[in-house]
Structure 1
Amino acid sequence: MFKKLLASIGVGGARVDTQLDNPRLYPGELLRGRVVVHGGGADQDIEKIELVLMVEAEQESGDHEARGALPLGAVRVAERFTIRAGESRELPFQINLPAETPINALAHYGRPLPVWIHTDLAIDAARDASDRDLLEILPPPPVAALLSAFDQLGWALSSTDVEVGTARVGNVVSTLGCYQEFELRPRGGNFRLQEIELTFIPHGSDTHVLIEVDARFGSDSYQALVMGADFASRDWAVELRQRLPL
């Protein structure tokens, strides 16, 4: 009885360990792994095990921006069961990441963008145990191609962050309750322009891009373009030079 009481308040209770097979992957790909539950000093009832895809996002509050963890989706790995004292149970899983999952496997000078899997082990009559496993989300080929084209034109990726809210490019709207912005700065400075911001929204086989050009003097300007299935055959450096006052 004493062991059950201790386990109910989190002392010597069940532990959870999420093991990812492929933590470095692209948006839209399948994340595979297993959740291993280790029983403690007494039998315990587990109400559920959920995996939650999380990202650090910014939200405006008055004149300030606050950063916090934002859930992008959840998957139930197990329903209610009992883990026996000293028992280990392995629960395999597969999760399709959303196509709009924020990208963080990028070289830039800004602060890192955490994207992770949060494991929620809900224990009956006890505090929840949790586990956090970081992901590296690679830039899809269209994103990498456009960033490379800007780099050729002297614009380097400075930072990237995720904003709470909705982005729109033409008739295409983001769907996760947040959107990612890529901030580019000119190498060596630029007399007319100080920053370019990019937002990518995948939609079917196309990638829609909103380009915001921040001018040093005068008003900012916006451009929208679509990178279709033929994106790899197009010279984006040439097209950007034609479209933008670079």
Structure 2
Amino acid sequence: MFKKLLASIGVGGAKIDTRLDNPRLRPGEVLSGHVLVQGGNADQDIEKIELVLMTEAEQEAGDHEARGAIALGVIRVAERFTIRAGETRQLPFQLQLPAETPVNALPHYGRALPVWIHTDLAIAAAVDANDRDLLEIHPTAQIATLLAAFEQLGWPLYSTDVEVGTARVGNVMSTLGCYQEFELKPRGGNFRIQEIELTFIPYGHDTHVLVEVDSRFGGDGYLVLQMGADFASRDWVAELRQRLAL
């Protein structure tokens, strides 16, 4: 929806609206749209317009975890310009989502994970303004394939969140300053394993997966998987059953 900007002279501020062509997409895909700026009753100087890809991530704060906004990427849509009174401008943009963009279009029992575009404006001699447009990020084929295999083995997705920091899977490290974890819990309970956590890190044409097994009796274990070009042809149910004794 339109966000009204305060004109420096105090009357007839311009309005801005970020319109997305494809708010439902997958990590690595290109988000497109345009920023619509409508002039008010007076000319107004705009210093810049930027779009920032945002999510919420958890970080340790004392003896508990706090959830706060974190930026994943930014593009400059416009440099300094003047929007004239009554003028309308459409500023097109394209933003390629990082391959590690958190996924939020999956059914689970935890809190919703927002991912959004934050429209940031610097306005000369006025209060800066911003706008927020939510995105629906669907899983990549690799993520969907592995989650489906765990589901068949009786381990559905329970919750997912984003943690501030860097994840490492073998020699591959996350790059956004945060990483997503998928928490799986056994359907009907499990005597030996309490939960399983998955972290996916794409690197080139492969996806590296850290599988963390939380044992009920201590001695938590880790398994590293590599999903290459042949991932769709592999029997992940059989492989997970064998390697994790599920």
Identify the TM-score tier after normalising by the shorter chain. over 0.9
Moved more, 120-129 or 11-20: 11-20
In the other structure, the counterpart of 1:153 is: 153
- The answer to whether the 8 A contact 1:119-1:130 is kept is yes
- The answer to whether the 8 A contact 1:9-1:127 is kept is no
Shift of 1:126: 0.9
Shift of 1:12: 3.4
CA distance in 2, matches of 1:7, 1:239: 62
Moved more, 165-174 or 218-227: 218-227
In the other structure, the counterpart of 2:39 is: 39
Q: Provide the secondary structure at the position in 2 that maps to 1:147.
A: helix
TM-score normalised by the chain length of structure 2 = 0.95
CA distance in 2, matches of 1:165, 1:11: 45
Q: Judging changes above 3 Å, is the alpha-carbon distance between structure 1 residues 230 and 10 closer, same or farther for their aligned structure 2 residues?
A: farther
Task: Return the letter of the residue paired with 1:135.
Answer: L
Q: Judging changes above 3 Å, is the alpha-carbon distance between structure 1 residues 207 and 11 closer, same or farther for their aligned structure 2 residues?
A: farther
Shift of 1:245: 3.0
Spell out, residue by residue over 1:42-99, the C-alpha distance to the aligned partner (whole angstroms, 9 max, x if none).
Answer: 1110000000000011111121111111001110000000001121110001111111
Spell out, residue by residue over 1:120-152, the C-alpha distance to the aligned partner (whole angstroms, 9 max, x if none).
Answer: 121101111111111111100010000000000
Q: Judging changes above 3 Å, is the alpha-carbon distance between structure 1 residues 175 and 38 closer, same or farther for their aligned structure 2 residues?
A: same
CA distance in 2, matches of 1:244, 1:9: 67
Identity in percent: 79
CA distance in 2, matches of 1:149, 1:16: 45
Task: Return the letter of the residue paired with 2:208.
Answer: H
CA distance in 2, matches of 1:61, 1:222: 26
Give 1:130-145 correspondences, 5 Å limit: 130-145=130-145
Q: Provide the secondary structure at the position in 1 that maps to 2:185.
A: strand
In the other structure, the counterpart of 1:100 is: 100
CA distance in 1, matches of 2:91, 2:234: 45
Task: Return the letter of the residue paired with 2:66.
Answer: A
Moved more, 123-132 or 159-168: 123-132
Q: Provide the secondary structure at the position in 2 that maps to 1:13.
A: coil
Moved more, 217-226 or 161-170: 217-226
In the other structure, the counterpart of 1:116 is: 116
Q: Provide the secondary structure at the position in 2 that maps to 1:51.
A: strand
Q: Judging changes above 3 Å, is the alpha-carbon distance between structure 1 residues 131 and 9 closer, same or farther for their aligned structure 2 residues?
A: farther
Q: Provide the secondary structure at the position in 1 that maps to 2:156.
A: strand
Unaligned stretches of 5+ in structure 2?
1-5
In the other structure, the counterpart of 1:209 is: 209
Task: Return the letter of the residue paired with 1:239.
Answer: E
In the other structure, the counterpart of 1:3 is: none
In the other structure, the counterpart of 2:3 is: none
TM-score normalised by the chain length of structure 1 = 0.95
CA distance in 1, matches of 2:86, 2:194: 60
CA distance in 1, matches of 2:26, 2:172: 21
Moved more, 38-47 or 201-210: 38-47
Shift of 1:10: 6.5
Task: Return the letter of the residue paired with 1:244.
Answer: L
Q: Provide the secondary structure at the position in 2 that maps to 1:41.
A: coil
Aligned length: 241
CA distance in 2, matches of 1:10, 1:117: 28
Give 1:78-89 correspondences, 5 Å limit: 78-89=78-89
- The answer to whether the 8 A contact 2:31-2:95 is kept is yes
Unaligned stretches of 5+ in structure 1?
1-5
